[in-house]
Amino acid sequence: KAGVTQTPRYLIKTRGQQVTLSCSPISGHRSVSWYQQTPGQGLQFLFEYFSETQRNKGNFPGRFSGRQFSNSRSEMNVSTLELGDSALYLCASSLAAGGGTDTQYFGPGTRLTVL
Partner 1 sequence: AQTVTQSQPEMSVQEAETVTLSCTYDTSENNYYLFWYKQPPSRQMILVIRQEAYKQQNATENRFSVNFQKAAKSFSLKISDSQLGDTAMYFCASGGATNKLIFGTGTLLAVQP
Residue 115 CB, nearest approach to partner 1 (Å): 21
Q: Label residue 73 exposed, middle or buried (CB < 10 Å: 0-12, 13-18, 19+).
A: middle
In whole angstroms, how close is the CB of 94 to partner 1 at the nearest point? 6
| CB nearer partner 1, residue 46 or residue 81 | 46
Least Å distance between CB 16 and partner 1? 27
The binding site for partner 1 (CB under 8 A) comprises 31, 33, 35, 42-45, 48, 50, 55-56, 58, 88, 90, 92, 94, 97-109
